[in-house]
Amino acid sequence: MVSGLNRKRVPISLGLLLVGLFLWIQHTDNHRITGVRDRLEYLAYDLRLNASLPEQPRPSNDILIVDIDERSLQQEGRWPWPRARLADLVTQLQQAGAAVIAFDMVLSEAETNVAGELLARLPEELSTPALTTYLKHEAQANDGDTRLAERLASGDSVLGLVLHNQDSPASGTLPAPLFQIDTAAQPLLVTALPTYTANREQLQRAANFAGFLTALPDSDGVIRRAPLLLRHGDDLYPALALEAARLYLLSNQPRLQTTTLGESTAIEGIDLGGGHLIPTDAAGRVLVPYIGPSGSFTNLSAANVLRGEFTKTDAANRIVLIGTSALALADLKATPVQSVYPGVEVHASLLAGILAGRFPHEPTWAPGASFLIMLVLGVALAVLLPLLSEMWMLAVATLSLTGLISGNTWLWSQADLMLVLTTPVLLILSLTVLNLGYGFLFEARSRRQLKSMFGEYVPPALVDEMSRRGEHYDFSGESRELTVLFADIRNFTTLSENLSASELKALLNRFFTPMTRIIFDQRGTIDKYVGDMIMAFWGAPVQDNNHAALAITAALKMQRAVQTLQAEFKREGLPDINIGIGINSGIMNVGDMGSEYRRAYTVIGDAVNLASRLEGLTKYYDVHLVVGPRTRELAPDFVYKQLDRVRVKGKHEAVEVFAPLCRFDEQTDALRDELQLHAQALEKFWSRDWVEAEKMFLALQSANPHTHLYQLYLERIRSLRERVLTEDWDGVYERREK
């Protein structure tokens, strides 16, 4: 693992730098960064919100919207309506049993009274007691503000006001604030606005309650959050929805829950009592809990209400919001659920969330949680991804993305918690792209280096495997157990005498091509071609514990390929060819060897020399393949015929040599019987029981007249009978030739 980390230190370092960059992006105040970051988060928020909305919204049973819609304007006249008409609207709703009536409008100016103005401007020469009395009576009878004030005073009503920072003087009368706080001693993170537009004093005194209508959309102009509290001086004023809900819930002593963040005080929630705790962000804002598109709340046309053409129970014991959806009145907002959305339904959505006690919210600890998630997940992926293959890299990245998005969605839907989503998602994607790109650009260079180093020796598929493993390969020498193969064409000198140089070259090419393909298919490494000889080995540069079995499989396939070539050469009138193959396994030195003028990736050692001697024995025993004892031990899935105990030239110790015949599952009953009798004959031979040995070898020769091995042993028996053997004779055959 440590070596893997060392080899991947560049992509790991780049990944960790990327994690640091994204952590900075998430928490920086740089306006250029925050603009892009927030836009992406807004997009994720909108997608998540709309995906969670029900197909059939369930409107709150506690809320009714009286809509000054296009039909109302057509029937009742253009806006603004006379205050007397608003008084009639309030009268109808109060008589129907409305609990709280909230106005999504500001009544900041006095209504024009025609009779009063005539009275004020009446010339003295035209003034008479009768006319003056009449105008005073008409002025009082048509005083809409007075009539509306009387209706507002007779029930719980909430007027709207606007807090803003426009360069204009304040107008109207502010109500009593919901909270008062010493901002010098306790700096609040609540948004402060310096001026206001409020209602006429007469109306505000009558209603007694008011809530602001101020909207603070996100940077893209969409209303996702809404402030429940805004500050003007040392006073905190409630939103229209909050004040209406407070009256409806009979909350006379709401409490502010705060916490300290550095040198400032952050709001955590507003407690209305009775279990109605509204969680907010540090600035006293909430995410608007939209329940669906426009029309998701119970709605009555103001024209129907004025005419009494509605069911009284629709308003009974409800909070009634009076607002407008008419295009001409310009109270339409951009929201995540709909680009043109009545502002009164934004207040209705806030009211529904307050009354139901469910708000998706971003708690004060959310930035810290997001930082920790990105740090842990980012560092883990930065270290892990470079160690994986492309497929596993994609699988781990997909699993991480799925887990992150699923967890974020679960917190949203089940716990009403909102955590940052887009920055962690982009971090995972960036880390994945970084490592895939690094693998493509830099690992491709590694592949080219490996191909240039080993392409002449090993098959392309093995070079690809070497590059995928991510291990370090070079030409440095090392000792390890390998299997080496020597394959030589029999009687090549005689064969070449009958061919021209070009014919011989063509024949060798036709021979080497299928032999090399077979060796490559069995994951072998070509060492060299020398004349008519091929030398190959298994187990390097890629370590493979199955090297002996692969070498024998290659040798058996090479024999079958030679049979195919024999048939082709015979049809073409070319000389017949046969090969002998020697295979041995053992400890060898492998690496780049040679001089400063020419070097080669090769193997050397006693085990290699023995393999060459074993190839030479194929002629003596008239077999195509001879292997040493260690090869037989490492590849037990093959059927072997023991050939002899032999001491080859240059070796002091005798070795047992074998001829692999086939795999165990390919063995026939006849072959099994032959090998059993052959093994018994060898035991009799080595124990000097010449009579029984001769009898068995004669039987074997009779059944297999083309097997030269049995004739060899019969000749040895006849020779040994005539000799006086020493006590230490062990049956070893001395091979003096190479």
Select the more confidently predicted residue: 728 or 137.
728
Cis peptide before 123 (omega within 30 of 0): no
Q: Which CATH architecture has domain 462-666?
A: 2-Layer Sandwich (3.30)
Residue 89 token pair:
């609207």
State the average pLDDT over residues 615-644: 94
Residue 93 token pair:
């709703």
Q: Which of 55-64, 475-484, 546-555 has the lowest mean pLDDT?
A: 475-484
* pLDDT score of 127: 62
Q: Tell me the C-alpha distance between 715 and 732, whole Å.
A: 15
Report the percentage of the chain scoring pLDDT > 70.
Answer: 88
Residue 9 token pair:
């230190």
Is residue 144 over pLDDT 90? no
Report the percentage of the chain scoring pLDDT > 90.
Answer: 52
* pLDDT score of 527: 85
Q: Tell me the C-alpha distance between 407 and 393, whole Å.
A: 21
Is residue 409 over pLDDT 80? yes
pLDDT, tens only, 263-318: 788 888 999 988 889 998 888 999 999 999 998 999 999 999 999 988 888 899 99
User: If you average pLDDT over every residue of the chain, what do you get?
Assistant: 86
Question: Which residues touch 153 (CB under 8 Å, ≥6 apart)?
Answer: 206, 207, 208
DSSP bridge pairs for 295: none
The answer to whether 418 touches 46, Cβ cutoff 8 Å, is no
What radius of gyration, in Å, describes the C-alpha atoms of the chain?
A: 49
Select the more confidently predicted residue: 689 or 494.
689
* pLDDT score of 626: 96
Q: Tell me the C-alpha distance between 663 and 530, whole Å.
A: 30
Only one residue has tokens 């693992």, namely 1
Only one residue has tokens 């009576």, namely 137
Q: Report strand pairing: 579-594 vs 625-627.
A: parallel
Is residue 42 over pLDDT 70? yes
pLDDT, tens only, 342-369: 999 999 999 999 998 888 887 778 888 8
* pLDDT score of 79: 85
Residue 170 token pair:
């304040």
* pLDDT score of 4: 46
**Per-residue confidence at 738, pLDDT binned at 50, 70, 90?**
low
Is residue 582 over pLDDT 70? yes
DSSP bridge pairs for 676: none
Q: What are the residue ranges of CATH 3.30.70.1230 in the chain? A: 462-666
State the average pLDDT over residues 12-34: 90
Q: Which of 37-46, 110-119, 393-402 has the lowest mean pLDDT?
A: 110-119
- Taking Cα atoms as reference points, which of 587, 687, 609, 678 lies closest to residue 640? 678
Is residue 575 over pLDDT 80? yes
State the average pLDDT over residues 51-58: 87
What sign results for the dihedral spanned by CA atoms 255, 179, 103, 144?
Answer: positive
Q: Which of 1-5, 35-39, 112-116, 356-360 has the lowest mean pLDDT?
A: 1-5
Q: What pTM value is reported for the model?
A: 0.62
Q: Tell me the C-alpha distance between 388 and 514, whole Å.
A: 36
Only one residue has tokens 């909102």, namely 418
State the average pLDDT over residues 601-618: 91
Angle between helices 547-572 and 501-521 (to 10 degrees): 150
Is residue 183 over pLDDT 80? no
Q: Tell me the C-alpha distance between 403 and 84, whole Å.
A: 60
Is residue 470 over pLDDT 80? no
* pLDDT score of 225: 92
Residue 546 token pair:
């199955």
Is residue 91 over pLDDT 90? yes
Is residue 3 over pLDDT 80? no
Select the more confidently predicted residue: 496 or 637.
637
* pLDDT score of 648: 80
Q: Which of 158-162, 524-528, 694-698, 699-703 has the lowest mean pLDDT?
A: 524-528
* pLDDT score of 108: 86
Question: Which residues touch 400 (CB under 8 Å, ≥6 apart)?
Answer: 377, 381, 428
* pLDDT score of 259: 85
**Per-residue confidence at 461, pLDDT binned at 50, 70, 90?**
low
Q: Tell me the C-alpha distance between 412 and 403, whole Å.
A: 14
pLDDT, tens only, 478-511: 788 999 999 999 888 777 777 888 888 888 889 9
Q: Which of 34-48, 137-151, 525-539, 661-675 has the lowest mean pLDDT?
A: 137-151
Is residue 472 over pLDDT 60? no
- Taking Cα atoms as reference points, which of 283, 403, 287 lies closest to residue 336? 287
Is residue 136 over pLDDT 90? no
Q: Report strand pairing: 225-227 vs 285-287.
A: antiparallel
- Tell me the three state secondary structure of residue 301: strand
Q: Which of 142-146, 378-382, 658-662 has the lowest mean pLDDT?
A: 142-146
